Chain A
């Protein structure tokens, strides 16, 4: 049990630390990635394959490595991050509907509350001297989770949340979640590997009250960082809270993509960041920093 004094000390230390003061982590910091020290374990989400890369589903085949970016723009130079010169950049290809996903792969040691916090922004590639506010279709994040090998209720659970910025040129600006994935497809012939493209465009549902206008700014090369927090309980495998900037959203209707536990994924604790473009222009998700914490 933590004493009140210990909690007060913890809070005081957090609030006095310029790197952590802008986060509200739970008692244990699982990771704090500010991308001024490197890629911090965020890599590309590679699809499953067996025998031949041609067996990889097309949704995954388009993915490429995230990069460290200074948000360098042709007209204003490097924008830089929130607290350093660098941010993680997830860039799509310049094709309508193209997506890219970065992932951090961990496992958990206790099924309890976890908190995912990040400072993020998004923009299209500045190939035109226009605002481009409807060029990025969506940015978002997902977790990929599975209970422990002795847990009776073990499922694979994948909470997905996206900010649908635009759809076919319509400036939608709302938060959505997803309960359905595509069907699993066997990969190869050994009966060891399956694959499903869980970021397929269908199946997204609106989060009640999930309309939000973010600070997009006034040309394609000006960006502002936004705060996001998502709380999830690994014990009940349920969402607890979603906040973006000054808005806290009701997640009582939220549910995750759920499927039977898979044979090689016990205690999996994966975090993904993704971007999707609505037009034939690259979409960029920039993440200045991520703080993942837990109560254990």
Chain B
């Protein structure tokens, strides 16, 4: 049987300001993940760094170590490649006051 592979849309057309993160996603079956963050609209203000977080339970989060620069223009894409992430995954970031980005966040998982 071919190994499972799936594209999950975890944030679609969400306007991110201040503290922002995707909803918890379980991916324990996957050996690798690629995360894309695309700006659907022209971002405003300084583009912050975003980071991947992992979790033992989907409720308590810790940085995994991978960081990605949030898109600085409409349709720009930030990417992170991951292995060894356990079960839970999310993307988090923090915007300065007045800064924002409307995002499409997709996770591409492969067993």
A contacts, CB < 8 Å to B: 37-39, 44, 46, 53-54, 56, 61, 64-65, 67-70, 72-74, 86, 89, 91, 93, 125-127, 282
Interface pairs (22), CB distance under 8 Å? A37-B1, A37-B4, A46-B12, A53-B13, A54-B13, A61-B12, A61-B13, A64-B9, A64-B11, A64-B12, A67-B26, A67-B27, A68-B4, A72-B57, A72-B87, A72-B88, A74-B59, A91-B24, A125-B58, A126-B57, A126-B59, A127-B59
B5-32: which have CB < 8 Å to A?
6, 8-13, 23-29
- Hey, which chain B residues are within 8 Å of A69, CB to CB? 26
- Please give the number of chain B residues whose Cβ is less than 8 angstroms from any Cβ of chain A in the complex: 24
CB-nearest residue of chain A to B6: A39
Chain B 27-43, CB within 8 Å of chain A: the 1/0 string? 11100000000001000
Write the nearest CB–CB distance from A165 to chain B, whole angstroms.
Answer: 21
- The verdict on B63 contacting chain A, using a C-beta distance below 8 Å, is no
Partner of B10, one of A46, A61, A64, A68: A64
Write the nearest CB–CB distance from A110 to chain B, whole angstroms.
Answer: 30
Evaluate whether A44 and B9 lie within 8 angstroms (CB atoms) in the complex, with A72-B58, A125-B58 already known. yes
Pairwise interchain contact A70-B58, C-beta atoms closer than 8 A: no
Task: Give Cα distance in the complex from A46 to B104, angstroms.
Answer: 14
Task: Give Cα distance in the complex from A89 to B87, angstroms.
Answer: 14
- Hey, which chain B residues are within 8 Å of A89, CB to CB? 26
Write the nearest CB–CB distance from A174 to chain B, whole angstroms.
Answer: 29
Evaluate whether A86 and B57 lie within 8 angstroms (CB atoms) in the complex, with A53-B40, A65-B10 already known. no
